[in-house]
Every structure is written in structure tokens, then in C-alpha cells.
Amino acid sequence: MRFFHGAIHRQRGMTLIDTMVGSALLLIVFVGVAGVFQLSVDVVTNNKSRAGAIALAAERMEYVRSLSYSSIGTSGGIPSGALAQSETITLNNTDYTRRTTILYGDDPYDGLAGADTYPSESPTPLDYKSVRVDVSWTSRIGERHITLVTRIEPRNGTEVSCTAPCGAISVYVVNAASQPVQNARVDIINSTVNPTVSLTTYTNTDGVASLLGAPVGSGYSIVITKTGYSSDQTWGSSGQNPSPSPPHVSVANNQTTSMTFAIDYLASKTVVTRSQATGGGLAAVPFTLRGNKYIGSNPTVYKFEEVLGNGGTGTTTLANMEWDTYAISIDPSTGYDIASSCDAPQPQYLAPASSQTTVLYLAAHTSDSLLVDVRTNTGVLVPGATVRLEKNPSIDTTLTSDLCGQAFFSSLSNGGNYSLTISAAGYTQKTFTNVNVNGTSVFSAPFD
């Protein structure tokens, strides 16, 4: 018999791991190709939209250049003219907003404002016209802009004064730290002058927007806004606000009216009402939240004053709040008094771009009470301090300040001559005399 000897050949198949790795590599390739394709589409689309925006801006700019110098202006603007300040245009299935801003400019070469020396027979600061055309559209990554700017002077080189008596308005916009705010929107409206004024402009890098050639008159309304910021403005007189502050402004002949406005990032504030006895939430307890800024006097009209908290949750959250010092009060008709305000006594400062939560611990209302906050001379609240309130012959009560450095005394008698003694480990004991209690009273007790 013959026997055949040979090698056995084994062929290795694909394992599950091989399959997964290969699939992952293919997925990475396909995702990359898809991403490149999407990016290419976005680039082509954006370039097409950008070309349309450039065409619209150039079209408007060329049209402005074709006008006579006296005709260059916007409807409701200064200088006045027939051009629309803002218009919506659809081109190649893309919606554009075209804004045209035309303002007088003052060249420092011949002096600024009242120091202008040209022309010699009748000097005027209206040296030229500044034209700005901005075209915006919305792309996949947000709003995009194309902006063209030019300067146009009279053809004969002779500057033209106002056709009617005029002056100037200078607006300065700052933030809470008194730093200039760039690109803030400035709306100036006055329907009582001729020609009427209804224009929009923006502050420069110095936070300034200047309006030369404003017709002489009173009642100029100025409103300052910016996305994500609080607003500021002038106010008109009304039955509810007979003495507004600041009032609408006036423009005098050959004079500049200057105004400063303050805006900053918006903040949020949350107010929670709880029972002092149990710590549990208290729903549907109304409270008044009032800021310190005012927009009128005699009587005082506060910029923010609202009754809140009527809902059923015990928590009230307010977004889009302006930076200010806010005070919370509760009317005795609710049946409650504020026994503690955490994490700080009232009032509280709300900083720009901040988020603040105030927890109010409420106790049953009594006709006369005293809320004491204990703090160091530098303003740091002191929890765990011993607070003793005395008044001969019947009142001698000692409490310990809570975690927020406050102690609440209720069911007191009306009048003065209370004595308040504060002591704490590491501090010097201090006594305050002639402390007055009249209704819902508060007292700040600093010591060191």
C-alpha cells in the first residue's frame, strides 16, 4: 500500500473584532466624506449669498453717489432724504436686510463743532456726509454681514449749513463699570420738528453716537438697546410720571446736547418663600420687588416695581433683569413678616450677567417687629451671634443670629428706647441704645 504524506493547510476566517474594526474604519471614511460634502455645500451657498449681499450693497452705494449732495439722506434721518433706512430684499431665494445710514460728519481739519472755521462767512461743522450700507442675511452658522462705507463731500467743496436752525445730539453709552459700550443701538425720534426725525444709528468703539444737523426743537426721544443687554432711554411726561428723569431732550441752535446712558448684560433673580418655623415652602405669598433706579420724581416712579409671587409654587424666577439694587417687601395683609433674608438682608445688589437666589423665611405677622442683621464693620454677616433686645419693664429677649446673620423679634410694642446688645466669640460686645420699633422695622448692627 502506498501512503501519501502531505501538509494540512488551514485558512483563517474573519473574526468579529476584524469585522467591527473594518466597519468602524468605513464609517469614519463615510462620515468624513459626508462632512467634506456638507462643508462644500455650505461654502458654495455662503459664497453665493455673500455675492448677493455685495451686489446689493454696491448697488445702493452707486445709487447714492449718483444723487446730488443735497438729496443724499434717509427718510426720517438727518440729513433727510428719500432713501429707506431699512428694507428687506429677496435675491436668489435669500432674504437680505439692507440698512442705509447717512450722517453728517465734522472734519477736524477746519475745527470741530463751534470751533469750525470754514467757510469763513458762515462756518458750519457739517463738513461732509458719511454713508454706511450694511447688508445682512442668515446662514447656517448665524447672521452674516457685508458693510460698505464711504464719505461724500459737496462737489464744489463748499460746505452747506442746515436749511433750518439746527444743533447736535451726542450720546455716550457706558456699562455698569462706566466703560464705553460699542455697537449699542441708538433710536432717536421726534415727530414735532421739520423735517421729522426717526432714525437708528450705533455707537462707535468709544461708545459715542453723534447726530449733527438736528433741527432745533424739544421732545427728542432717545432709546438705547443692545441684544443681551438692559435698555436705557429718555421718558415723556404723563399722568403717572409728571416729572420724568431723564426727560426727552431739546436741541438749541448751534449747540450740542450731550446725554449719557448706561446699559449692561442682563441678569436673573429667583425669590423663594419658606416658613421660618418649618423650613417648608410657602406658596401664593405675594411680595413687592422694587429696584433703586427711578425714571421720575415728585412722585418717585421706579424703573422696576412689581408685585410678584402670586403663583402656587413658592418660587418666582425673573430673567432679563437689569443690574440694580433690589428690595423685597411683604404687605402685612398677607399675614406674614420677613423673619430672615438669605443669603443676605434686604436690599441686595444684582450684578450684570449674574444669577441670584434670595430665600425669604416668613413668620406670622405682628403689628410691631424688629429684624436685626449682625455684621462686622466691614459688612461681613456674623451667624451664631448672641442678640439681646431689652426694654423696661417687660421686654428682655435673647436670640441667636441664624446662618444668614439675622435675628427676628416679633410681638413687640411700638416706640423707642429699646436696647440691643450684640456679642460673639472673638468680637467686642456692643450695645445700641434708643433703637426704635415702629411697625415692621429693620436694624443693622455692625460691630468688631
The tens digit of pLDDT for each residue in 284-318 reads 999 999 999 999 999 999 999 999 987 778 999 99
| pLDDT of amino acid 26 | 73
Residue 270: closest CA among 328, 202, 189, 184: 328
- The three cell numbers of residue 258 are 450731550
Residue type, 314: G
The contacts of residue 258 (CB under 8 Å, 6+ apart) are 169, 170, 171, 172
Which burial class, exposed, middle or buried, applies to 238 when counting CB atoms under 10 A from its CB (0-12, 13-18, 19+)?
A: exposed
Strand partners, 244: 296
Q: Please report the pLDDT score of residue 38 as a whole number.
A: 59
Query: pLDDT category, 165, cuts 50, 70, 90?
Result: confident
* pLDDT tens track for 42-56: 555 577 888 999 999
- Specify the range with the lowest mean pLDDT, choosing from 47-56, 328-337, 435-444: 47-56
pLDDT digits (tens, 9 = 90+) for 71-127: 999 999 989 899 999 999 999 889 999 999 999 887 765 555 555 544 444 446 677
Asked whether the predicted pLDDT for residue 21 surpasses 80, the reply is no
Q: What is the pLDDT of residues 371-413, one digit of tens each?
A: 999 999 999 999 999 999 999 888 999 999 999 999 999 999 9
Taking a C-beta distance cutoff of 8 angstroms, is the pair 413, 437 a contact? yes
Mean pLDDT of 155-159: 62
User: What pLDDT is attached to residue 120?
Assistant: 44
What was the pLDDT predicted at 121?
45
Cell numbers for 281: 415652602
Q: Which residue has the cell 413668620?
A: 363
pLDDT of 158 > 60? The answer is no
Three-state DSSP class for residue 314: coil
Q: Which residues, listed in sequence order, are joined to residue 169 by a DSSP beta bridge?
A: 211, 257
Q: What one-character DSSP code corresponds to residue 49?
A: H
Instruction: Judge whether residue 39 has pLDDT over 60.
Output: no
pLDDT top residue among 117 and 428: 428
SS3 399: strand
Angle CA 369–345–339, to nearest 5: 35
Cell 456679642, located at residue? 423
* Eight-state DSSP code of residue 331: -
Rounded to an integer, the average pLDDT of 159-166 is 71
pLDDT for the residue 157: 59
Query: Where does residue 45 fall: left (phi above 0), alpha (psi -120 to 50 degrees), or beta otherwise?
Result: alpha
pLDDT tens-digit series, residues 240-289:
999 999 999 999 988 899 999 999 999 999 999 999 999 999 999 999 99
pTM summary value: 0.83
